[in-house]
Amino acid sequence: MSELPLLAAAHRILYDANCGFCRWSLGWVLRCDGARRLRPVALQEAEAEWLLAGMSESERMAAWHLVDPGGSVHSAGRAVPPLLALLLPGAMPAGLARRLQGPIDRAYGWVAGNRGALGQRLRHQALARADELIAARRLQRPPRKRGQPPIR
């Protein structure tokens, strides 16, 4: 079985490791990242503080962030177009997201404001699967397939 390497110059996707909904959402994003261009970094880590050096802790923790290999930071709803450009090659998805930035920002604001309640509705298995995907990507190994025993 061939394994796609995680690129050293990967885009970093920063998330709140204490938020179940955030981890579950990141799990879905990582499932869509077949090219393995994204490396998850918890906002609680020193690397996140370094990557987001110009932000206060409250700004860092208020949203998810996408940091490209050159160090450019995209946060909250503004990170959706560049994320779509990575996940769905071609101009259409990212271009559409840029044209719909206002509604995307409002939707993101609502989700971010309700992430605690949304996270409480998640099934344990869904969150466990997301956590496993995140851990596998952080350790640069392929996630297990359904039915395989957990990675130890």
Look at phi and psi of residue 36 and say left if phi exceeds 0, alpha if psi is from -120 to 50, else beta.
left
Stretch 13-20: mean pLDDT, rounded?
97
What's the confidence (pLDDT) of residue 141?
55
Q: What is the dihedral of CA 44, 75, 58, 131, to 10 degrees?
A: -30
Q: For position 5, what pLDDT does the model report?
A: 45
Chain centroid, CA 83 distance in Å = 9
Are the C-beta atoms of 69 and 9 separated by less than 8 Å? Answer: yes
Average pLDDT, the chain: 86
In the chain, where are the structural domains located?
11-138
Distance CA 128, CA 146 (A): 13
The full length of the chain comes to: 152
What are the Cα distances from residue 72, in Å, to 24, 54, 65? Answer: 25, 12, 10
pLDDT digits (tens, 9 = 90+) for 24-61: 999 999 999 988 999 999 999 999 999 999 999 999 99
SS3 state at 75 = strand
Q: Where are the beta strands (DSSP E) in 9-138?
A: 11-15, 38-42, 65-67, 73-75
